Amino acid sequence: MADGTDQKSSNQMWGGRFASGPSAIMEEINASIGFDKKLYAQDIRGSIAHATMLAEKGIISQEDKDKIVHGLNTILSEIKAGTFEFSRKLEDIHMNIEARLATLIGTAAGRLHTARSRNDQVALDFRLWVKEELQKTEGMLTALIAAFLDRAEENADTVMPGFTHLQTAQPVTFGHHCMAYVEMFGRDRARVRHAIEHLDESPIGAAALAGTGYPIDRHMTAKALGFREPTRNSIDTVSDRDFALEFLSIASICATHLSRLAEEIVIWSTPQFGFIRLSDAFSTGSSIMPQKKNPDAAELVRAKTGRINGSLVALLTVMKGLPLAYSKDMQEDKEQVFDSAESLELAIAAMTGMIRDLEVRKDRMRAAAGSGYSTATDLADWLVREAGLPFRDAHHVTGNAVALAEKKGCDLADLSLEDLQAIHPAITSGVFDVLSVEASVASRVSFGGTAPSEVKKQIAWWRGRN
């Protein structure tokens, strides 16, 4: 009975030594079928590979193997079609599938679990799932990076203010700013690729924790399941959840990047900044204030970071006190990973859409770039280069020029030559060439700098790496 009230019958899969069934509370705390049914395809794939190997090695007959494989494929279609009845009494996906197999093919079903345990079985299923998720994440990050590369290309010479402390610092290009995110998401993608490599070892055959006396071939199952090789220590294999922790760490760092970007989008889309306009597709209105266009998607991306970081901390905490090898605590690994995977996918997809759709308001960026004395460093550099001043003195002279501009309520470029010469006699009209924001960005040609020529080089480098 799926409601867990039947106390009389013990679990049909492991109940041999139990006189009565679990209490309803025991059943409720023990069962994972509510969430690990997500692993059904991986479980069936793993079982088919295992049964095939058992038959190859003469551990079970070909005939039994054929029945098992046929039965498992039937179950796969039943689950896909939504006709499979999951039972909480059968605890988890592994036993739900095995019990159904017994109903479908009879005694041969009992041979499938030879030389394996649910401990290596769940390690296998979950690894396969995380591997697929990482591959999906890799593709999604590539799409996000591509969106940024396109925007960077269109805006390689769109001037905007660059900030430190969220105070205007120096003019940069929007293309350069976009490329900063390409670097961040590029690192995330590299981490994803490393994680795929790390987890590419097959756990099946580690059995409960000690390996098995049956003449199994773990290399054969590893190959059949698309792993590079089998894991090398059976104790570690069933107690390891590093692959889940790595997924959550990567997801947390990536979500942090997405959240910083979301924060910038929120700021940029305010009327006060007005650097971008979000498309209608990625914003909402207010039910009371008709003028509003809210960046809800960005805000939710920012907020998803909380639950993803929470999942990482939750699983680290589950694992930190566990003696080797398997403990049931480890069953708590899945929901954290499933929830984070869903949140991360949604956040990357929403961000990719926003970046592709957003309107860049070049005029607003240009106007903001010119205010706030953003070319003060250029003036100081000019004094060093053209008038031979030590940088510290040039910094001081420039400070005086900023103070004067502030007093007059104008920008540095609006000061007259006379004003500037009164501050330092070595200043000539040539200084106006560097006081414009365009000249400022064009001059920053150091490797990785903001000059459009440099930004274009970096775009080309990334385009060659997808």
Smallest gap, in angstroms, from Cβ of residue 443 to ligand ARG? Answer: 60
Smallest gap, in angstroms, from Cβ of residue 326 to ligand ARG? Answer: 6
CA distance 199 to 195: 6
**Token representation of residue 96:** 């739900």
CA distance 55 to 217: 11
Smallest gap, in angstroms, from Cβ of residue 18 to ligand ARG? Answer: 14
Range 206-265, binding ligand ARG (CB under 6 A): none
What is the Cα Rg of the chain in Å?
31
Tell me if 32 contacts ligand ARG by CB under 6 A: yes
Tell me if 331 contacts ligand ARG by CB under 6 A: yes
Tell me if 92 contacts ligand ARG by CB under 6 A: yes
CA distance 95 to 31: 11
Smallest gap, in angstroms, from Cβ of residue 19 to ligand ARG? Answer: 19
Single out the segment in contact with ligand ARG by CB under 6 A; choices: 142-150, 277-285, 328-336, 457-465.
328-336
Tell me the HSE value of 53 on the side-chain side, using a 13 A CA sphere.
24
Q: Which residues are within 8 A (CB) of 461 and not within 5 positions of it... i.e. 6 or more apart?
A: none
Tell me if 96 contacts ligand ARG by CB under 6 A: no
Smallest gap, in angstroms, from Cβ of residue 206 to ligand ARG? Answer: 12
Active-site residue list? 165, 286
Q: Which is nearer to ligand ARG, 101 or 254 (CB)?
A: 101
Q: Which is nearer to ligand ARG, 47 or 398 (CB)?
A: 47
Q: Which is nearer to ligand ARG, 119 or 458 (CB)?
A: 119
Q: Which is nearer to ligand ARG, 67 or 118 (CB)?
A: 118
Single out the segment in contact with ligand ARG by CB under 6 A; choices: 117-125, 133-141, 240-248, 404-412.
117-125
Helix (H, G, I), strand (E, B) or coil at 365: helix
Is residue 169 reached through a cis peptide bond, with omega within 30 degrees of 0 on the bond before it? no
Instruction: Compute how many residues bind ligand ARG; rule: CB under 6 A.
Output: 10
Q: Which residues are within 8 A (CB) of 306 and not within 5 positions of it... i.e. 6 or more apart?
A: none
Nearest to 137 by CA among 343, 332, 353, 356: 343
First to last CA, the chain: 52
Range 118-137, binding ligand ARG (CB under 6 A): 118-119, 122
Question: Strand 167-173 to strand 201-202: parallel, antiparallel, or no bridges (unpaired)?
Answer: unpaired
Q: Which residue has the tokens 């103070």?
A: 403
Q: Which is nearer to ligand ARG, 239 or 398 (CB)?
A: 239
CA distance 185 to 192: 10
> For 211-278, where are the E strands, in sequence order?
229-230, 276-277
Single out the segment in contact with ligand ARG by CB under 6 A; choices: 286-294, 325-333, 341-349, 413-421.
325-333
Tell me if 326 contacts ligand ARG by CB under 6 A: yes
Question: Interface with ligand ARG by CB under 6 A: which residues?
Answer: 32, 36, 92, 118-119, 122, 326, 328, 330-331
